[in-house]
Amino acid sequence: MGLTQHHPFDPLSGDEITAAVEAIRKYQSGQLLFNAVTLHEPRKKEMLRWLEHPSDGNKPARIADVTVILPDGAVYDGLVDLKTRKVQKWEKLDGLQPIVEEIMRKDPKVIEQCEISGIPKSDMHKVYCDPWTIGYDERFGSNIRLQQALMYYRPDPDTFQYQYPLDFCPIYDGAKKAIIHIDTPSVRRPLSKQKAIDYTPRYINENGGYRKDIKPINITQPEGVSFTMNGRVLSWQNFKFHIGFNYKEGIVLNHITFTDKGIERPIFYRLSLSEMVVPYGAPEHPHQRKHAFDLGEYGAGYMANSLALGCDCKGVIHYLDAEFAARDGSIRTIKNAICIHEEDNGILFKHTDFRDDSVTVTRARKLIVQQIFTAANYEYACQWVFHQDGTIQPEIKLTGILNTYALNEGEEAGPWGTEVYPQVNAHNHQHLFCLRVNPMIDGVNNTVNMVDTVASEAPVGSPQNKYGNAFYAKKTKLRTSGQAKTDYNGATSRTWEMVNENKLHPYSKKPASYKLVSREVPGLLPKEGSLVWKRAGFARHAVHVTPYRDDELWAAGRHVPQTSGEPSQGLPEWIAEGTASTENTDIVLWHTFGVTHIPAPEDFPIMPVEPMTLLLRPRNFFTNNPCMDVPPSYSITPTQVAEKKGALDQSDKDKIV
């Protein structure tokens, strides 16, 4: 079977996944479970050579990166050359366990606990669980595959289970396919008897119906879209980039360039959401284990919604599918895993001259590359938004349903949670995301400066600050990975700029750069020494900077489930003593941002979208505003005003009226 030619950044196709699975089965006997079969990304030096001269025949080899579980529970990492069909690497991993999802309604111990909670054995088909990785529990260690089951009851198939949480937590051994322990609280909380609430049409119609005062808004693009696709390479408004996708990160953007006055200039080599952690703040056992790494433990790609089943995009939409290996090695396809579309974005720029009433106003549009994934109760809409001025805006929108726990009637939720509905406790928690940025600002050798806006150090009345009003941008060069461990400071409007010190702007004489602007940067609230602090080392600081290394992609490490955090994997391991140079070299900036969520009744039964956004903005990169050539919506010059001549009015299809 021949394999289709692919762009080196393309995700593995179904045929390539099948070829990798067949090669592994020939190499390793037994009933294998395929935890992951994904693209082993080309080595950067090879890839840059090919990008510069794609016709020279130096195309990087297609390699499959495979994680496999053997019948005895052992976990192996492998690499398969897809041209030769040969296994290049086969390495056993000690103390690591893959993801397991099982439903345990038939277990006698679970049935007993359900009866204690007030659920008869005949209702076990109404009992549900969200299987979470156990995080880490010193009672069990890391050498057996464990899952903790967050338990719920759903009395009606058309209601949702999170309003009826149960108070016990079974521990499931994936190798034995058995419950090995059940955690129960010191104070038992039986099943709530409260009337159900819901967000479905049936419930809304039974309780007053939908509002009637919403008029349609129609989005039309009669001439189609303004972007083009060449395979998975997208071009739009001077931007050009490759759209990849993998099981862990979901969308990956590679080789992002901007054509500036006819010259294609590199901006970023790779952008992705590298990891996230959701620590919960209730001190009662076993809630300390609730700190899901939704990418490392479950996979944003694996959990991607098929947008064929419902997409929030309007207008003309382009979709991309995703193909993965199922556990048995067969091909699993998620139709429409990625949607790409344009939206109107209000004013791009505008000015009215108060002296003569001349005015120019230009409307903006934006391009959105989006996926949505569901992590049990929560939904995350991950958007990469491109703007005509060269700005890139990563944005994450949170919605879905709160994770809940039981309350006794009359019991207070206390400071660690909120009673969002009678006998339903939603615990305080954080959503912390790690953005991985590999800059390539006019070349691979870049540096990061921390920028703080501060008042002049000179005293009032001095020659340097006679009137006391002086302030400036104070820049601190982050020369090593240790020095680069930095945090956000709202008092100084702190930003971080990725600069090419070898490329100075002709006017400002400052280096070409892209600036990270991020204001939603809560610190990790669990204390130093806590389990989540040990495991989520990437979240200890807002920004880390490391020298680029090909396989350092995921901030919490390659394999996350059931790691103890001793030692911490990922960024703390890679930074180590912090002596590695990050000055004028190939670097990676890691940024942790997010939200601290103190739940409220308005978040229940389903949470309105809460957006988190940040910006990657060009600074001293262009010689002037790069989007002045976008046609204005309306423009009239002083001469036209004086002579009472017509203006350029885009609403009349560019005719002079």
Give the DSSP H/E element, type plus range, for residue 333.
strand 331-352
Look up residue 645 and give its DSSP letter: P
The strands making up 75-81's β-sheet, listed across from edge to edge, are 33-39, 63-69, 75-81, 86-93
Look up residue 601 and give its DSSP letter: G
Catalytic residue at 378? Answer: yes
Work out whether strand 318-325 and strand 75-81 pair parallel, antiparallel, or are unpaired. Answer: unpaired
Cis ω before 185 (30° cut-off from 0): no
Structure tokens at 216: 């349609």
Q: How many CB atoms lie within 10 A of CB 530?
A: 16
Rounded alpha-carbon distances, angstroms, from residue 42 to 7, 55, 88, 370: 11, 17, 15, 24
Secondary structure (DSSP) of 453-503: EEE-SSPTTBTTBTTS--EEEEEEE--BTTTT-B---GGGT-EEEEEEEEE
Catalytic residue among 162, 378, 405, 421: 378
Residue bearing tokens 């702190």: 494
User: Chain centroid to CA 24: how far?
Assistant: 31
Rounded alpha-carbon distances, angstroms, from residue 626 to 304, 347, 349, 519: 35, 15, 12, 25
Note whether 246 and 301 are within 8 A (CB).
yes
CA torsion angle for 441, 444, 447, 453 (degrees, to 10)?
A: 10
Q: Which amino acid is at 379?
A: E
Grouping H, G, I as helix, E, B as strand and the rest as coil, residue 558 is: coil
Catalytic residue at 654? Answer: no
User: Chain centroid to CA 483: how far?
Assistant: 26
**Cβ-based burial of 505 (10 A; exposed 0-12, middle 13-18, buried ≥19):** middle
Q: How far apart are CA 475 and CA 449, in angstroms?
A: 6
* Residue 602 φ then ψ, to 5°: -65, -15
Beta strand residue intervals within 388-463, DSSP E: 392-400, 404-406, 417-421, 424-427, 429-439, 447-455
Q: How far apart are CA 498 and CA 496, in angstroms?
A: 7
Catalytic residues: 294, 378
